[in-house]
């Protein structure tokens, strides 16, 4: 009641910082805590299911981008009259390698960075085979 009178009288009030809430004591790691939250709050379970669905759409979006880059590479390869053909080829191949590295990270594969040349071609083939082995298509 005193704080109400102080606030109405215009006297300066001391604002106390909020104490952080204690975490669940029996949860030893994040997975246990997540399972405990999902068991008590159904909206948290729905949120986890929605996150899994978004992950599937991220994979599909990545596959569509890889498909687009592959089509561009084929078009560059098949058009002998294209201006600055080598430049287009290199930039598109760089983008394709970058997308392959992102796809490997999304699939949980290791992606080594290698300089341009025969080693880069071998690494690209390895990444493509690993992704195809995990069911990716593009």
- What is the number of other CB atoms lying within 10 angstroms of the CB of residue 119? 11
Which of 22-31, 43-52, 92-101 has the lowest average pLDDT?
Answer: 22-31
Tell me the chain's radius of gyration from C-alpha atoms: 27
Q: Give the model's pLDDT for residue 44.
A: 63
Q: Give the model's pLDDT for residue 37.
A: 67
Contact (Cβ atoms closer than 8 angstroms) between residue 61 and residue 53 = no
Q: Please check whether residue 60 lies inside any domain of the structure.
A: yes
Using a pLDDT cut of 70, give the percent of the chain over it. 68
Number of domains the chain contains: 1
pLDDT digits (tens, 9 = 90+) for 39-59: 666 666 677 677 777 777 889
Q: Please check whether residue 3 lies inside any domain of the structure.
A: no
Q: Please check whether residue 14 lies inside any domain of the structure.
A: no
Contact (Cβ atoms closer than 8 angstroms) between residue 56 and residue 135 = no
Q: Report the largest interatomic distance among the alpha carbons of the chain, rounded to a whole angstrom.
A: 86
Which of 5-9, 41-45, 56-60, 125-129 has the lowest average pLDDT?
Answer: 5-9
Q: Give the model's pLDDT for residue 134.
A: 92
Among all chains, which residue has been given the structure tokens 């981008």? 65
Q: Give the model's pLDDT for residue 115.
A: 81
Q: Give the model's pLDDT for residue 30.
A: 65
Q: Please check whether residue 26 lies inside any domain of the structure.
A: no
Q: Please check whether residue 27 lies inside any domain of the structure.
A: no
Residue 38 has pLDDT above 90, yes or no: no
Average pLDDT of span 126-133: 94
Q: Which residue has the higher pLDDT, 69 or 17?
A: 69
Q: Domain range spanning residue 91?
A: 55-133
Q: What is the DSSP string of 8-51?
A: HHT---PPPPPPPPPPPTT--SHHHHHHHHHHH-HHHHHHHHHH
Model confidence at 119, pLDDT cuts 50, 70, 90, reads confident
Q: Please check whether residue 35 lies inside any domain of the structure.
A: no
Q: Give the model's pLDDT for residue 15.
A: 58
């Amino acid at each position: 009641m005193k704080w109400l009178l102080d606030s109405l009288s215009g006297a300066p009030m001391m604002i106390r910082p909020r104490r952080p809430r204690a975490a669940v004591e029996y949860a030893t790691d994040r997975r246990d805590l997540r399972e405990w939250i999902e068991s008590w709050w159904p909206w948290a379970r729905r949120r986890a299911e929605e996150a899994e669905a978004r992950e599937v759409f991220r994979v599909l979006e990545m596959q569509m981008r890889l498909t687009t880059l592959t089509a561009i590479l084929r078009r560059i390869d098949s058009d002998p009259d294209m201006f600055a053909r080598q430049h287009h080829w290199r930039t598109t191949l760089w983008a394709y390698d970058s997308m392959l590295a992102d796809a490997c990270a999304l699939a949980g594969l290791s992606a080594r960075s290698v300089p341009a040349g025969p080693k880069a071609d071998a690494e690209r083939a390895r990444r493509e085979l690993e992704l195809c082995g995990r069911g990716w298509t593009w």
